[in-house]
Amino acid sequence: MAGFPTDLEIAKAAKLQPLGDIAAEMGIGQHLVTPYGRQVAKIELAAIDELADRPRAKYIVVSAVTPTPLGEGKTTTTVGLGQAMRHIGKRATIAIRQPSMGPTFGIKGGAAGGGYSQVVPMEQLNLHLTGDFHAVTAAHNMLSAVLDNHLFQGNESEIDQHNITWRRVLDVNDRALRNVIVGLGSRLDGVPRQTGFDITAASEVMAIFALARSVPEMRERLGRIVVAYTRDGKPVTAEDIGGAGAMAVIMRDAMAPNLLQTLENTPVLVHAGPFGNIAHGNSSVVADLIGIHSGDYLITEAGFGADMGAERFFNIKCRASGLTPDAAVVVTTVRALKAHSGNHRIVAGRPLPEALLAENPDEVHIGGANLRKQIENIRLHGIPAVVAINAFPDDHPSEHAAIAEIAESMGARSAVCTHFADGGRGATDLARAVAEAADEPSDFHFLYPESAPLREKIEIVAREVYGADGVDYDPPAARQLDSYERNGFGNLPVCIAKTHLSISSDPSLKGAPTGWRLPVREVRASVGAGFIYPICGDMRTMPGLGAHPAAHKIDLDADGNIMNLS
Amino acid sequence: MAGFPTDLEIAKAAKLQPLGDIAAEMGIGQHLVTPYGRQVAKIELAAIDELADRPRAKYIVVSAVTPTPLGEGKTTTTVGLGQAMRHIGKRATIAIRQPSMGPTFGIKGGAAGGGYSQVVPMEQLNLHLTGDFHAVTAAHNMLSAVLDNHLFQGNESEIDQHNITWRRVLDVNDRALRNVIVGLGSRLDGVPRQTGFDITAASEVMAIFALARSVPEMRERLGRIVVAYTRDGKPVTAEDIGGAGAMAVIMRDAMAPNLLQTLENTPVLVHAGPFGNIAHGNSSVVADLIGIHSGDYLITEAGFGADMGAERFFNIKCRASGLTPDAAVVVTTVRALKAHSGNHRIVAGRPLPEALLAENPDEVHIGGANLRKQIENIRLHGIPAVVAINAFPDDHPSEHAAIAEIAESMGARSAVCTHFADGGRGATDLARAVAEAADEPSDFHFLYPESAPLREKIEIVAREVYGADGVDYDPPAARQLDSYERNGFGNLPVCIAKTHLSISSDPSLKGAPTGWRLPVREVRASVGAGFIYPICGDMRTMPGLGAHPAAHKIDLDADGNIMNLS
């Protein structure tokens, strides 16, 4: 947009309110607000009990159609919707994940929203914030050191060195760390073995931190982490090797959610950032347990499309928190639905194809199959869906109308939003639609019971959410499922790790693919976090840097201001 | 001591003052004080300029005799002396290093002082504090990722893969990471090569952070880091491969020193924690640039014995800061000097030998050779030394008298201190002695000019400080020195990496060894930090965990309180 200010210019011009005032509006007393720098605070977990008698907010999850590689503005819409609530006389609290620092120096856009719907201060948000991710890194690698020390000191647990599942993590895009050999050197330098590093967001500690309802529960979950198996196939836990207590000490202070604000001073709880494919991709349970009693609406964002983050929000996060959602937003853009027609190819960092910009409501209708399925994926869980049409300057009114028709045909409300350009007042129609939907009677339910066998749970998600004809297991996957059932992990929910670029497991299939089967190559267990994750495709758990990464351009100017961070 | 409370009990009973009040007493306005949690703040670097017109404090460095593996209570004495200044009507600021988190989970004692001379809150101090160490880890590993990405993307700089000096770091005791191979897997998983991890305290980024006088100077120094050499031997810097700007952004906020307080509310600036052997082992220059105008005395601690940390304080840190010290304290204990007689063997974690506890002033005189040499090592730099006799309950008055005689024979003041048991009032004699010494006319000077060739600088430190007869260079060391001179690094000061358990390079030689030559095996360069470090012995830059590490015992109790952290 010619002449439109940059995100950073807008953010710098914002008039921030003291966080103590923002917390007070949420009903949170000063004694629970610990400042961390000038515009960030932590809210002590005692707030959960202190707020418990206040009215319960309506609980809204923001999801999306299957995104293009550019993203569809889900965080921006979450922020815009939160801001809009004040414009219709309501008070909202927003809850989002903390961005991962690694990709910030790769090719990622900002994770703070954008335009006039941003979380500020964006520099802290995109860098260290209050150090929670660093605590996850430190706790994770402490357990790795305790594990390798266990091997070095005599391997009392008789760990099978070829069946060690615990790796190491760093919050950096570093492909050279994906596969490493450690323990080289002399006899005093440890036991040589092959392992690797994941990015910190992929750590099971991150998932635990996001799912625990309290510090003692976090401590217990850390103890349940399975780090390896013995030579006769028995799981060895973090508790068994004496690493869980130290991890809990390292993680304790991180358990308090971080309070920031939007450009319009709407409270934002930013807390935890688990991966959206091999983990559940949702912000923390404790933040939501605070937010659920701190306003009229608690608006939280789930990762990727509704088949991914929202499905885990319902079946993993809500199961852990005990909270019941009232409505879901499905964010879409015209360009995403056009891309779902299968006629265009969108590549991050390149201009959009010309043909995609031409007025073409028919193409929107074709690609709309994806939107229909994602609305259905919400309704499967018994709550109403609202379609947020995130408007772009190149859109045509006929295309917005096409989306509204699709929504209506599915019995869902919809609204065109211009919160990027206009802030909260650009999303008041959406806010009203969400308020109406949340007031409807609803019947939230999980998609499957915990007690179902693992294969049945996988089958249910694959058929009902993904639209697959069935599931195929490679032999290792079948063996792993059997062993998990045998080891008592069969009652855990499933978190199916597949591409986020298709509802199917094939990223090239657009729209709402049918006539395919879900191939499960292997199955892993996050026993501490409390889910089993079947792997369906090539899941990257450590990104790399490109030929021209943002790291080459991000710098300080002569006055110490940060340049080129977005 | 029977019935004496634990450090943690004492710390928990302390009445802390609001840090804003403590900063105000230092002359630092509220606008420069950023809270990070309830009892820790950062002081913005603008304080350096704002305080510049205030009177200059006397600048005192606290050093020690060559320590036993138990340590001689140098931090405790630094804190006790700082507290004592108030008891004699003076105001002091204390400046110390931040402890490294890795060893906290190994076998280390607290790094917060002890008894009634502690820095609080000790839990934050010994864990994340404000995340500065995490920032160093992240910045260091960002450069590692940029470097490996440079190789992966085509190695435009023609880096010799067998001459890469930049490794990775983590703040954990993890021997299995000392020697690793990275880049395994497929062609898309990086370039395979051998490398390793050091502990974060050993990072050159840590040394840079400690020595820079400002954020722009830090940025420049980061750019000068040499990460590798080309196939024809030319240095390749962080700037060359485009990593320095991103590192500076990651490090920017960490540059503000952390303000804490002692049990008696004396201000303590805790900032940076570079290693004491391969780096200079002193807290940050910026903290001292603030502290030098914030009271009557600025008391800072240097790592290990006077041959190590104090020598680098004078010749590296003061050269970088431009500040001139007025006096030095040499901390000793009766047991250390008895150990320097060569008659006893002290092992960390085991009870002291019975024979060492028997009254034996003659043995103190024999081991006193070490104290004499360390006093001389202070005087070599033109400033007065004061001997702090850190009293233990098992000491005998005749042994304290022996130490006082040694000090007097060297023309140095001395005082017996009981600050561990009595807090500041137990160190008032020391405070008076330090005040008198600092009022004496002094003639501070560096031991060697920057312009001297590297071999001459090494020779001067070896002969004059260590008492060696000369220096022997292994062939690789000689080649490296020639290459550094050729590459324009010959004007840097030297930081000789040797054992801290002897003034010589042989840890078994006690007292003040003579008749030996310093063997230099290899020579490395920290060009960004600004020193060359010859390696004389086996320098561990990544510790390991023992068979019964503290990590196994540190835990949370049912109320979320930290247990067994000391």
pLDDT tens sequence across A490-530 = 999 999 999 999 999 999 999 999 999 999 999 999 999 99
Q: Is B70 annotated as a binding residue?
A: yes
pTM: predicted TM-score of the whole model, two decimal places: 0.97
Backbone φ/ψ region at B108: left (φ over 0), alpha (ψ -120 to 50), beta: beta
Considering only CB atoms, which chain A residues are within 8 Å of B34? Answer: 37-38
Contacts of B125 in chain A (CB under 8 A): none
Note the pLDDT tens digit of each residue in A305-354.
999 999 999 999 999 999 999 999 999 999 999 999 999 988 877 888 99
Q: Mean of the per-residue pLDDT values for chain B?
A: 96
Asked if A142 and B172 count as a contact pair (C-beta separation under 8 A), the reply is yes
Is B544 annotated to bind a ligand? Reply is no
Q: Which residues of A touch B540 (CB under 8 A)?
A: none
Q: What is the pLDDT of residues A258-300, one digit of tens each?
A: 999 999 999 999 999 999 989 999 999 999 999 999 999 999 9
pLDDT at A309: 97
pLDDT of residue A348: 77
**Does the pLDDT at position A362 exceed 80?**
yes
Domain B454-535: assigned CATH number: 3.10.410.10
Q: What is the pLDDT of residue A110?
A: 62
Cα–Cα dist B146/B241, whole Å: 7
CATH among 3.40.50.970, 3.40.50.2000, 3.40.50.300, 3.30.1510.10 for A133-247 = 3.30.1510.10
Average pLDDT for residues A185-204, to the nearest whole number? 97
Q: Compute the count of residue pairs across chains A and B with CB atoms less than 8 Å apart.
A: 240
Per-residue pLDDT, averaged over B57-82, amounts to: 95
List the 217-276 stretch of B: residues with Cβ below 8 A of A.
Answer: 219, 242-246, 248-250, 252-253
pLDDT in tens, A105-130: 997 656 788 999 999 999 999 999 99
What is the DSSP secondary-structure string of B176-227?
GGSSEEES-SSGGG---EEE-EEEGGG-HHHHHHHH-SSHHHHHHHHHH-EE
DSSP string of B496-544, one letter each residue: -B--SSSSSS-TT--SS--S-EEEE-EEEEETTTTEEEEE-S---SS--
pLDDT band at residue B2 under the 50/70/90 scheme: low
Closest Cβ–Cβ partner in A42, A148, A544 for B149: A544
| Partners of residue B36 on adjacent β-strands | A36
* pLDDT at site A519: 97
The dihedrals phi and psi of A413, each to the nearest 5 degrees, come to -70, 160
Distance from CA of B40 to the nearest CA of A (A): 9
Question: Is A149 in contact with B179 (Cβ distance < 8 A)?
Answer: no
CB-CB neighbors (< 8 A) of A178 in chain B: 184-185, 189-190
Q: Do A36 and B38 touch (CB under 8 A)?
A: no
Give me the percent of chain B exceeding a pLDDT of 90.
92
Nearest-neighbour CA in chain B from A513: distance (Å): 30
Mean pLDDT, range B89-94, rounded to an integer: 98
- In single-letter form, the type of residue at position B462 comes to A
Q: What is the pLDDT of residue B234?
A: 95
Quick check: B145 and A551 CB within 8 A? yes
Q: Give Cβ neighbours of residue A441 (< 8 Å, ≥ 6 apart).
A: none
Contact assignment for B149 to A560 by CB distance below 8 Å:
no
Whether A7-131+254-439 and A454-535 share one fold: the answer is no
**Mutual orientation of helices A361-379 and A397-409 as an angle, nearest 10°?**
30
- State residue B24's pLDDT score: 98
A75 assigned to a ligand binding site:
yes
* HSE-up (13 A, CA, CB side) for residue B329: 40
The answer to whether the annotation marks B499 as part of a ligand binding site is no
Query: What is the spatial distance between Cα A64 and Cα A49, in angstroms, rounded to a whole number?
Result: 33
The position carrying tokens 């006790």 is B80
Residues B333 and A223: their CA atoms lie apart, in Å, by 43
Superfamily of domain B7-131+254-439: P-loop containing nucleotide triphosphate hydrolases (3.40.50.300)
Amino acid at B196: G
B74 is annotated as contributing to ligand binding: yes
Binding site annotation covers B485?
no
* Separation between Cα atoms, residue B539 and residue B544, nearest integer Å: 13
Residue B252 has pLDDT above 60, yes or no: yes
| CB interface of A with B, residues 67-106, below 8 Å | 101, 105
Hunting for tokens 């404790």 — which residue is that? A286
pLDDT band at B108 (very low <50, low <70, confident <90, very high): low
Put simply, the answer to whether A105 touches B549 (Cβ < 8 Å) is no
Domain boundaries, chain B: 7-131+254-439, 454-535
- The residue among A122, A128, A193, A222 with the most chain B CBs within 10 A of its CB, best to mutate, is A128
CB A220 within 8 A of CB A81: no
Cis amide linkage into residue A267, ω under 30° from 0: no
pLDDT higher than threshold 50 for residue B210: yes
Contact call for residues A550 and A107 (beta carbons, < 8 A): yes
Distance CA A262, CA A109 (A): 18
A107 touches chain B (CB under 8 A): no
Q: Which residues of B touch A145 (CB under 8 A)?
A: 172-174, 176, 545, 551
Which DSSP helix (H) or strand (E) runs through A33? strand A33-35
Shortest distance between the Cα of B175 and any Cα of chain A, in A, equals 5
Q: Which amino acid is at B203?
A: S
Interface of B with A in 154-193 (CB under 8 A): 170-185, 188-191
